[in-house]
Amino acid sequence: MGTASIFASVTTDLTPLLNSSSLIIGKSSPSNSISFKSSVSFSRKTLTPIRLSSAADNSPSVTVSSPSTEGISDRSKTSLKSRLRGGETLYGLFLLSFSPTLAEIAAHSGYDYVVVDMEHGPGGITEALECIRALNAADTPAVLRLPENCPTWAKKALDLGPQGIMFPMIESRKDATKAVSYCRFPPDGIRGSAHTVVRASKYGIDEGYLGNYADGILIMCQVESSEGVKKADEIAAVDGVDCVQMGPLDLSASMGYLWDPGHKKVREMMRKAEKSVLTSDPAKGGAYLSGFAMPHDGAAEIRGRGYHMVAGAVDVGLFRNAAVEDVRRFKMGLVDESDGEDSLEHGKDVDDEKYWSE
């Protein structure tokens, strides 16, 4: 998936999602809500998991579970794998800045998982570790996206102890099988072993690590090319592949539509890959489906099509949007203020509210 795909995903119109039960727009906040001056409020009770029905026809119908009085930290005591097996739809964020502070804010905001992006972000293993620590402290699972599908990066990433690992540009059963082997110790794979001292095993203090490490790691393979789509069913069926992550922008680029990811042919290819994964049964060796929200295909839309993991934004994109809007409001305020001064000169009333950005 190219760099542009990360930034494109954050321009998604999340209005359908924001108007759901998770957020209340322009209404008074209940007593247990956190409110902002922009009249956007959300209740901690509405940050409950979304569960997919287990209809026999694989229909992507969605039902919302009953509100829970438990806190966000209580929900995160189970692993990503366990929550997916329980039928939850998970909502995540991509962390491109490698800022532990932004990672911590994301965790406290209620995201179900955060992907620390070593493929397109500027950081490496050392920087990723600090972000994982921030996320762990706030009880939010971290997923590490690798720069490439190779044993060295996988080994170093897994030793940090993330709950998930994402391999880019998987195009065949062979690629997926190799990715899984990088996550398994011999004789099941080729992962290098330093389990007696690495962070993943609590530096050797967790004596049961070797017995349960495999079940605690969510292995995600990205399908982001025409070749990958053709083999999506085979990739999803590889033993050990837990989730297939769609990469819409790289897919569009591979088809000759880099600047038009919403092209009809790209959308048809996406649907083909989605169907290949959704018709597999994770309980019988299949995989879950994960993806990015896009401007032409929002978070609510892909959730409605049956995606099990939805990444709706990127940290730098959220900050960029907020910063651009903040500057726009200020400069528009100056224009309005100037207009107001002219109005005063002519004895007209001035709307002071126009100046302020809130």
Query: Which residues carry out catalysis?
Result: 120
Pick the closest to residue 115 from 128, 105, 127, 126 (CA basis): 128
Tokens of 354: 């126009």
Residue 323 near residue 357 (C-beta atoms within 8 A): no
Q: Calculate the alpha carbon distances from 70 to 44, 45, 66, 140 in Å.
A: 9, 8, 12, 15
Q: Please report where in the chains the tokens 């025409």 appear, as a residue.
A: 226
* DSSP secondary structure letters along 267-299: HHHHHHHHHHHHTS-GGGT--EEEEE-BTTB-H
Pick the closest to residue 312 from 321, 303, 304, 320 (CA basis): 303
Classified as helix, coil or strand, 63 is: strand
Which value, to the nearest 10 degrees, does the dihedral of the CA atoms of residues 191, 197, 203, 205 take? 100
The CA distance from 208 to 213, in Å, is 8
Classified as helix, coil or strand, 23 is: coil
Tokens of 27: 């209404």
The CA distance from 40 to 27, in Å, is 8
Q: Please report where in the chains the tokens 């919302």 appear, as a residue.
A: 64
Residue 92 near residue 111 (C-beta atoms within 8 A): yes
The total of other beta-carbon atoms located within 10 Å of residue 13's CB is 16
Residue 237, φ and ψ in degrees, nearest 5 = -85, -5
Residue 151, φ and ψ in degrees, nearest 5 = -65, -30
